[in-house]
C-alpha cells in the first residue's frame, strides 16, 4: 500500500497554503466562531480590541477585511478610540514591512 501512503502524503502537502499565513486555521476557526456568535450584535470595544491585530494584519495583506469582518469595520467607523488603536497597529505593521 505504499502508493496509498504516497498519495496521502502528496495530498497533505498540496493542502498546505503556499504562502505563510498570519494565523493558524485553528485560530481562524476560533475567531470565526466568535464572529458568528456575535453576528447580530454590535461588537464591544473589548471584542474589537481582540480582533484588531488580526484585522489589521489581514488588511495589510490585502484581504478584504470589510467583507471578512463587517462588524469590526462597522465598529471602527463608529468608535474613534478603536480607530485610533487600529491606526496605531497599522503603522506598526507597515514599519515591519520596510
Ligand atoms: Zn470601540
pLDDT tens digits, residue range 23-81?
A: 777 888 877 777 666 555 688 999 999 999 999 999 999 999 999 999 999 999 999 99
pTM exceeds 0.75, yes or no: no
Cα(8) to centroid(ligand 1), Å: 46
Q: Which of 78, 33, 71, 39 is nearest to 55 (CA)?
A: 71
pLDDT of 7 = 60
CA angle 15/16/17 to nearest 5° reads 115
Cα(72) to centroid(ligand 1), Å: 9
Cα(9) to centroid(ligand 1), Å: 46
* Residue with more model confidence, 83 or 11: 83
Q: Which of 85, 98, 97, 72 is nearest to 22 (CA)?
A: 97
Amino acid at each position: 500500500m505504499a502508493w496509498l501512503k504516497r498519495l496521502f502524503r502528496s495530498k497533505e502537502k498540496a493542502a498546505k497554503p503556499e504562502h505563510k499565513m498570519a494565523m493558524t486555521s485553528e485560530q481562524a476557526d476560533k475567531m470565526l466562531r466568535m464572529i458568528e456568535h456575535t453576528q447580530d450584535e454590535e461588537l464591544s470595544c473589548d471584542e474589537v480590541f481582540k480582533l484588531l491585530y488580526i484585522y489589521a494584519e489581514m488588511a495589510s495583506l490585502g484581504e478584504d477585511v470589510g467583507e471578512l469582518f463587517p462588524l469590526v469595520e462597522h465598529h471602527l467607523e463608529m468608535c474613534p478610540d478603536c480607530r485610533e488603536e487600529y491606526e496605531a497597529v497599522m503603522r506598526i505593521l507597515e514599519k515591519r514591512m520596510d
